Chains A and B, each alone.
Chain A
Amino acid sequence: MNEDKIISTINGFLAEEFEADLSLFRPEANMKETLDLDSLDFVDLVVLIEKNFGFKINAEEFTKMKTFQDLYSYVSQRLHQSTPVR
């Protein structure tokens, strides 16, 4: 999956799940603030990533993510070393 496809897939499910305006999804924007995420929303985020990209989230790496670009880069990087979801 190329970079553009990764970004459009992520933006697509984020906009749908969190009912957010796509125009606010700037790479440098803070994801938590833009999507108004609380801790339980992160459950959805984790489930969506695993479902759409087929790898398991690494807790330590995931907590470091702040911006949309961090998420795009994380997913892109993981797809190149993916472990299938059970």
Chain B
Amino acid sequence: MTSAWSGRSQANPLGYRIFIWLIRYGGLKPAYFLLRFVSIYYLLFSTKANSALIEFYTRAKIHKPTLWRHRYQTYNLFGEALIDKIATYTEANTAISFDFENEQELHRLAASGRGAILMGAHLGNWEIASQLMHRINAKVYVLMLENEHEKIKSLLDKVISEKSFEVITLTDDITMILKIKAALDEGAFICMHADRYLNQKRTLPCEFLGHQALIPEGPFYLAAKLRVPVSYVYAVKQSGFHYQFSCTDALESRDLLNLASAYIRLLEQKALAHPHQWYNFYPYWS
């Protein structure tokens, strides 16, 4: 049975400290090397995540879904995503490169001054995608849960040179809604994920990879009610240090189900194309 995502990160401050040091003084390659041992640890001891991933690979019809190398690859790519994020934030390494597909759509949305919601998922490197937003002439807010350990947050704050976005903390009260509304009124972009829910009362059932899953209603509800354009954005790793960022042409609809349906179809395509970059480590289907 699907369980609501707890929102807690499993990272620990010492691990972060070691990786930050390695990235700053050794670059990406030594950090990737150390990561292999961390991935093996998760492969051996993260029972729940392992079974959730096997379920996902099975639904995605990957050849031999129970093979350990699939899970190892996912843990490794997930770790690389975190390392690349830190490297980008700290400007420690310029080896990371990007393609930006359909970037002109974001420039068009920014120029319209109407604000927009950019929806992504826990697939690929969403945080590096947010950091790429400095290329767009619009203020960017990222909606996220305060899920990191306090020590990790202060550690990252010390090394981050400059963030190209501001954070709106994900809560279940009106304060968050009003911040989003105010930002959209200013013509800003709001980036949020739409593949995990915290409150099961506000979910939408949808068919994902042939089986029923629940996605949060909130992102689609906001877009439909506030009548703002929506673009679905992803940044997936294509090779060693290279990412492809893509965004769809903007959609506008007062019908949240239309928006949700378009979202889930694209999520399905992305998940099938990049199955090892699926980072929902909990039972996803109901």
Contact = CB atoms under 8 A, between A and B. Distances in A.
Contact of A42 (B174, B185, B201): B174
Given A40-B218, A40-B221, A43-B221, A56 B185 contact: yes
B174 A62 contact: yes
Contacts of A56: 185
A42 B177 contact: yes
Contacts of B226: 43, 47
Chain A interface, DSSP helix/strand/loop, else mixed: helix
Contact of B179 (A43, A47, A59, A86): A59
B150 interface: no
Interface in B156-213: 171-179, 181-182, 185, 199, 201-202
Interface residues of A, number: 14
A22 interface: no
B217 interface: yes
B222 interface: yes
Interface of A: 38-40, 42-44, 46-47, 56-57, 59, 62-63, 86
12 contacts: A38-B172, A38-B199, A39-B173, A40-B221, A42-B177, A43-B181, A43-B225, A46-B181, A56-B185, A59-B175, A63-B175, A86-B185
